[in-house]
């Protein structure tokens, strides 16, 4: 139950946050590309930035304070409801995904996507056993393995059990949402109606994405990666070094999108709590070495060489014309989630245009990190570093995937799901918002030893 003496948030600010989140979900799903391939990504990007701006306004001069752990009598009913929503989400989405899987058999989807066949190669090599990171030959061409270990290792149990990787990934995402989103929602101690409303949000967002982005669930296992980023997002507010380190390791060893943001995160961790920050960094480094190190013993340079092949992949996708489109344009560029169409129309050779976008991508991501760090430093006595980490993560992901040279829609979904955790921090009367004047920042958590 919330108290009438708790800090209150203006109705206009709350309405603005709610509206921006709803619009972001719609422009990523049902309204995707509704304003054309040039302006739709601009609107989608602006909505994500606007959501973070309002969240920053909401948290200025306040710090995040975990409420006392509720009693089992208060926690268990809400967790049971969260479990019920997770099961309901599974029952709602699984028939759709199962139908999509039946239409995209792994043995016959090579012309559309090589993700699932490649994952099977990694897994079967490990179970072989034979060196995992060596050249792969699929569908008549050979390429170097470029999937980090945590992009394929979670599918070893699925292979042993004879389960489809796509359904396995969806199940893992729902499990992660239960133990991250729903547990955090219970811990925040919101009023009953607000808690119930926010409990429904991940069900709706996931179902909308399943309905609108069928290739994501037909040809990819991006559900797993989305789950990783949910762990990272919940870790930004968590007092546990283990949870924070787990989020870093899961995301870093599945995709290298975070490379530019991690230094900022490290500095924010140090500002929050120095000893816990060093413990988090040590745990993350140990996790990376223990998971990735053994796979590099066979050929330490093969993974780096594999990353250099990405330019050739980009050139192929920039010439991959959608035969069903009314205008002959690359199908994965003009999908309404990325800025690649603006660069596709520039003068110059194909390689020159791709290189321009790569440069802008690097500069934009770097600018977001530098600007986020600068703004936090200017307001460091008035802004919680944990909230800064969450908001900067959301802005960084929106920027990274917005300016990607191949803006696959399934990749951009991680930014949308991160918004769920931003919305969690918005509330009318929050038991977890404490005026900064009542305590100096950074805050030492009572369980900082974890």
Give 322-367 pLDDT, tens digit per residue. 777 667 788 889 999 999 999 999 999 999 999 999 999 999 999 9
Q: Does residue 203 register a pLDDT over 70?
A: yes
Backbone angles phi, psi at 348, to 5 degrees: 115, 170
Q: Are 210 and 371 in contact (CB under 8 A)?
A: no
- Tell me how far apart the alpha carbons of residues 240 and 252 are, in angstroms, rounded to a whole number: 19
pLDDT for res 442: 52
What is the mean predicted confidence (pLDDT) over 218-226?
Answer: 95
Instruction: Determine which of 101-105, 260-264, 431-435 has the lowest per-residue pLDDT on average.
Output: 431-435
pLDDT in tens, 367-382: 999 999 999 999 999 9
pLDDT of residue 448: 43
252 within a domain of the structure (yes/no) = yes
Percent pLDDT > 90 in the chain is 72
Place of tokens 């900022």: 264
Over range 133-143, report the average pLDDT. Answer: 87
Q: What is the pLDDT of residue 405?
A: 94
Nearest by Cα to 171 from 224, 120, 211: 224
User: Is the pLDDT assigned to residue 87 strictly greater than 60?
Assistant: yes
Burial class (CB in 10 A: 0-12, 13-18, 19+), 43: middle
| Residue at 2 is within a domain | no
Residue 392 lies in a domain: yes
Please give the pLDDT value at position 310: 67
337 near 407, Cβ under 8 Å?
yes
Q: Whole-model pTM above 0.75?
A: yes
Query: Does residue 339 lie in a domain region?
Result: yes
Supply the pLDDT for residue 303: 78
Q: Which residues contact 83 (CB under 8 A, 6 or more apart)?
A: 178, 182
Instruction: Tell me, yes or no, whether 292 lies in a domain.
Output: yes
Q: What is the pLDDT of residue 447?
A: 45
In this prediction, residue 446 has a pLDDT band, given cuts at 50, 70 and 90, of: very low
Angstrom distance (rounded) from CA 120 to CA 122: 5
- Mean pLDDT in residue range 144-151: 92
- What is the Cα–Cα distance from 426 to 445, expressed in whole angstroms? 21
In the beta sheet, which residues pair with residue 433?
64
Long-range pairs for 83-90 at CB < 8 Å and ≥24 separation?
83/178, 83/182, 85/182, 85/199, 85/200, 85/202, 85/203, 86/174, 86/175, 86/177, 86/178, 86/182, 88/203, 89/174, 89/177, 89/202, 89/203, 89/206, 89/207, 90/170, 90/171, 90/174
CA gyration radius for the chain? Answer: 22
Does any domain span residue 129? yes
Q: How far is CA 29 from CA 34, 177, 207, 416, in A?
A: 10, 20, 10, 10
Number of domains within the chain: 1
Give the Å distances, CA to CA, from 337 to 47, 48, 322, 349, 445.
12, 12, 16, 24, 39
Per-residue model confidence as pLDDT tens digits over 251-310: 999 988 999 999 999 999 999 999 999 999 999 999 999 999 998 888 888 877 887 776
User: Which residues are CB-neighbours of 318 under 8 A, at least 6 positions away?
Assistant: 330, 333, 344, 350, 353, 354, 405, 406
- Confidence at residue 57, expressed as pLDDT on a 0 to 100 scale: 93
Distance, CA of 30 to CA of 211 (rounded, Å): 9
Domain that holds residue 411: 11-318+329-438
Q: How many CB atoms lie within 10 A of CB 210?
A: 21
* Structure confidence at residue 444 (pLDDT): 47
Cβ(369)–Cβ(396) below 8 Å:
yes
pLDDT of residue 434: 87
Residue 323 domain-assigned?
no
| Residue 9's pLDDT band (cuts 50, 70, 90) | low
Q: What is the pLDDT of residue 72?
A: 82
Give the mean pLDDT of the chain.
Answer: 90
Give pLDDT, residue 139.
Answer: 81
Listed residue (258, 206, 205, 189) closest to 94, CA to CA = 206
CB-CB neighbours of 370 under 10 Å: 12
Q: How confident is the model at residue 69 (pLDDT cuts 50, 70, 90)?
A: confident
Distance (Å, whole) CA 285 – CA 170: 28
Indicate whether 324 belongs to any domain. Answer: no
Coil, helix or strand for 318?
A: coil
Buried-exposed string 65-103: b where 16+ CB fall within 10 A, e elsewhere: bbeeeeeeeeeeebbebbeebbeebbeebbeebeebbee
The rounded distance, in Å, linking the Cα atoms of 360 and 448 is 40
Per residue in 150-180, pLDDT tens? 999 999 999 999 999 999 999 999 999 999 9
Helix segments in 29-180, DSSP class H? 36-59, 72-103, 115-127, 156-161, 165-177
């Amino acid at each position: 139950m919330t108290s009438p003496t708790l800090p209150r948030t203006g109705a206009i600010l709350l309405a603005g946050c709610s509206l921006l989140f709803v619009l972001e979900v719609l422009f990523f799903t049902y309204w995707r590309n509704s304003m054309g391939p040039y302006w739709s990504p601009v609107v989608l990007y602006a909505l994500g930035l606007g959501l973070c701006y309002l969240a920053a306004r909401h948290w200025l001069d306040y710090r995040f304070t975990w409420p006392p752990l509720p009693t089992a009598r208060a926690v268990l009913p809400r967790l049971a409801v969260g479990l019920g929503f997770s099961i309901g989400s599974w029952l709602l989405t699984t028939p759709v995904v199962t139908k999509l899987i039946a239409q995209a058999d792994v043995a016959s989807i090579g012309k559309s996507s090589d993700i699932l066949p490649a994952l099977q190669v990694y897994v079967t090599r490990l179970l072989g056993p034979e060196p995992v990171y060596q050249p792969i030959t699929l569908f008549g061409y050979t390429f170097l393995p470029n999937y980090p270990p945590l992009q394929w290792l979670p599918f070893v149990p699925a292979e042993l059990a004879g389960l489809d990787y796509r359904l396995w990934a969806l199940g893992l995402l729902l499990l992660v949402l239960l133990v991250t989103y729903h547990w955090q929602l219970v811990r925040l101690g919101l009023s009953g109606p607000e808690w119930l409303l926010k409990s429904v949000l991940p069900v709706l967002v996931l179902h909308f994405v399943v309905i609108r982005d069928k290739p994501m669930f037909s040809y990819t296992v991006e559900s797993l990666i989305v789950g990783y980023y949910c762990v990272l997002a919940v870790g930004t507010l968590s007092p546990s070094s283990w949870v924070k380190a787990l989020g870093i390791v899961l995301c870093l060893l599945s995709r290298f999108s975070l490379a530019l943001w991690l230094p900022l995160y490290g500095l924010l961790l140090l500002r929050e709590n120095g000893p816990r920050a060093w413990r988090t960094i040590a745990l993350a480094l140990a996790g990376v070495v223990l998971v990735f190190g053994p796979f590099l013993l066979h050929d330490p340079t093969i993974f780096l060489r594999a990353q250099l092949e990405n330019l050739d992949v980009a050139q192929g996708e920039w010439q991959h014309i959608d035969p069903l489109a009314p205008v002959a344009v690359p199908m994965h560029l003009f999908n309404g989630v990325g800025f690649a169409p603006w660069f596709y129309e520039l003068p110059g050779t194909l390689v020159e245009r791709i290189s321009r976008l790569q440069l802008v991508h690097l500069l934009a991501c770097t600018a977001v990190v530098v600007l986020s760090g600068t703004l936090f430093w200017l307001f460091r006595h008035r802004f919680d570093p944990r909230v800064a980490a969450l908001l900067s993560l959301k802005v960084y992901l929106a920027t990274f995937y917005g300016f990607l040279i191949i803006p696959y829609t399934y990749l951009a979904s991680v930014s949308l799901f991160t918004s769920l955790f931003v919305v969690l921090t918005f509330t009318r009367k929050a038991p977890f918002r404490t005026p900064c004047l009542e305590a100096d920042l950074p805050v030492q958590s009572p369980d900082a030893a974890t």
